[in-house]
Structures are given as C-alpha cells and as structure tokens.
A and B are shown apart, each in its own frame.
Chain A
Amino acid sequence: MESEKVKASVVEASEFPEWSQENDVYAVPKVVIRRGDKKVEFEGAYPEKMFIQQVMKAVEG
C-alpha cells in the first residue's frame, strides 16, 4: 500500500501446491520477493527492518 510499485500477496500454500513447489516452499512462512529477474527469499517472520532490507536487496541488488 505504501508504494505503487509494490504488489503484495498472501498465498495459502496448501491450496496452491504447484505455485508453492515453483517457489520451493517447504517451511512457512516463506517470503519470495521478485524484481525483474532478481529474486530474494527467506523463511520465517522477520521483523520489519529486516524485512524491508530484504525488499531493498531485490530492488538494488
């Protein structure tokens, strides 16, 4: 919501097995961030500052 450039989705992994498999989801929560070809991913619930760091890794990396 804070950025027009960012799209955010929550996905019930058990209901979308193929989508989950494409993203190698074995443990939840798993966050997959994409910017163009660049992908940054992590498992677990990160605190806000760490979460945004991961987003910026995808944006700037």
Chain B
Amino acid sequence: MPLIQQKDREYLQKLFTDELKGEVRMLLFTRLNGEGEEPPEDCPYCQAAADLSREMEGLSDKLRVEIHDLNRDGAEAAKYGIDKVPTFVILDPKGDDRGVRFYGLPAGMEFSVLIADLMDMSKEQTRLADPTKQTLKAIDKDVSIEVFVTPT
C-alpha cells in the first residue's frame, strides 16, 4: 500500500510542477534490510523512510532522491556528518549542503515541512522577512538550531 495517497500524489505533482524551480536532491540516510532480514529493531522507521523517499521521487523530474545505507555508504555519511537514521538531507540546485536536516520519518504535518523545504531549496529562497535575512547574513559564528517535533 502506498504511503502517499493517490489524491495527495496528484496534489503534490501539481504543486511541484508549479513551484519547483531548480533541481533539488534529497538524500536519505537509512538502514536497509537485506533480503529476508528483519527490520533493525533500533530503527523502526528506516524502511518506511526508504519507501516514502522512493514514492517521492516520482513526483517531479526536478526532485532527485538518493537512498544511502548507513552501513554501506560510510564515506557519504561521513561527508554529511550523519550518525543517526533515518536522516534526510536536502541539497540545493548546485548540489551544495546548506545545513538543512530532517531526522526521523516526516509523518503527518511534518511531511508538509519537508515539502516546503524542498520548494524553498529549489528556489534558493526562504519566505523570511528582509530584516530577518539581514540579521542572519551578519552572523559570523557557527549556530545550530534544533526543532523537536512529534507527528500530528
């Protein structure tokens, strides 16, 4: 059974056709089961994250999805500093890492956060006000912002 319902697929396909500008790459770092293996106990949503990612790839030509197994793609994981799964990384149209991460399965309302991130990244533009952007551009020290959420 697909994770994204048919009517939602249609909605998202149209949304992406209208809104996606540059090509974006979404990387998923997860742990995949081998043939006939049980899903990893410590990552109950790893497989669902992979399934969701594959479904998302069909939504637009401007969305490229790469699924990486943390166990097998150590070099790629190290490149992006990934130590937890599932983790989504969104790269901009130049293929650069802009420091945006989504940890966990983006279920419920959080899925729309991921979709919004993809659209912003493809336009390389956020919806922040100009004064906010000025303030942010002037920051000269490394800052990390973590937003803890739960699916609704």
Contacts and interface: CB of A to CB of B under 8 A. Distances in A.
Given A1-B98, A8-B101, A33 B124 contact: no
Interface string B87-100: 00000100000111
A6 B99 contact: yes
B75 interface: no
A55 B103 CA distance: 21
Interface string A22-48: 010100111111111000000000001
SS of B interface (majority): mixed
Contact of B147 (A3, A10, A34, A52): A10
B1 interface: no
Question: How many interface residues does chain B have, given as a range?
Answer: 35 or more
A35 B144 CA distance: 7
A6 B96 CA distance: 14
Given A16-B103, A58-B143, A2 B148 contact: no
A27 B10 CA distance: 34
B110 interface: yes
Nearest to A49: B132
Contacts of B136: 2-3, 6, 52, 55
Contact of B103 (A15, A25, A28, A58): A15
Given A36-B142, A48-B129, 14 more contacts: A6-B143, A6-B145, A7-B99, A10-B110, A10-B113, A11-B147, A11-B149, A12-B107, A12-B149, A13-B149, A28-B148, A32-B145, A52-B132, A55-B135
12 contacts: A1-B99, A2-B137, A3-B137, A4-B99, A7-B100, A10-B149, A12-B149, A14-B151, A15-B103, A36-B141, A36-B142, A55-B135
Interface of A: 1-16, 19-20, 23, 25, 28-36, 48-49, 52, 55-56, 58-59
